[in-house]
Amino acid sequence: MISLYIYGCRPEIYERAKTIGVPSDHIFTDDRPNGGTPLYVAKKAWLDRIKVGETHRCVLQDDVAVCDNFMDHLQAMVKFDPAGVWSLFPLEFVDFPEKGEERHKREGIFLRTTYLSGCAIMMPVDYCRAIYYAEEGIAENDDELAIMDSYRRKNAKLYTTIPATVQHLGNDCKVKSATTKYHGAYLRTPFFKQEGFL
């Protein structure tokens, strides 16, 4: 069973969660008076109690849109590699879309990657606690960098997809991470398709 979670600090998080199909007890918000980097809130979702029958967890930020039949797409990813860690937003190709086009034509839908985007990640639940307890405080407290560092050490397989199954919605990033500092706040992918890849 794949569980869906969402985290963030936007007022529209609850409506977005309802639209995506995230249960009300899987919504986590920032209770810090002055906010901060995203890892603090992301950890609430990743470290939530593992449910009976839960095999994978997909955690979304509150500023993404998802494709049609989103859960079916997640199931297809798990079927392709149950042990894989998935960056649903293809961050590696934000600055170099031509590279993404080339690899998609050559390799198909499921692509190995070296970059994770914290706005949408799925992984086996067995990995969740080990990562966040072991890597707390590293990489400027950015969730994607903490996960990347941990999995590089473990030689885990990281994947993304083209077409992409999520789209980053806007340029008003409420939480500032190393990713947004480097790329700028306006992160969108040309590879998102509302119908996804199924």
- % residues pLDDT > 70 (the chain): 77
Rounded to whole angstroms, how far apart are CA atoms 165 and 167?
A: 7
Rounded to whole angstroms, how far apart are CA atoms 71 and 78?
A: 11
For 101-122, the pLDDT digits (tens) are 999 999 999 999 988 887 899 9
For 127-152, the pLDDT digits (tens) are 877 655 544 454 444 556 666 666 66
59 neighbors 42 (Cβ within 8 angstroms):
yes
Q: Is 14 exposed, middle or buried (0-12, 13-18, 19+ CB in 10 A)?
A: middle
What does the pLDDT read at residue 2?
Answer: 96
24 neighbors 17 (Cβ within 8 angstroms):
yes
- ∠ CA(84), CA(90), CA(92), 5° rounding? 100
Strands (DSSP E) found in 32-189 = 56-61, 64-66, 85-87, 110-112, 120-124, 158-161, 166-168
What does the pLDDT read at residue 177?
Answer: 46
119 neighbors 167 (Cβ within 8 angstroms):
no
Evaluate if residue 182 carries a pLDDT over 90: no
pLDDT range class, residue 80, cuts 50, 70, 90 = very high
Of 63, 120, 70, 66, nearest to 91 (Cα)? 120
Report if pTM > 0.95.
Answer: no
Going along the chain from its start, the domains and CATH numbers come out as: 2-183 (3.90.550.10)
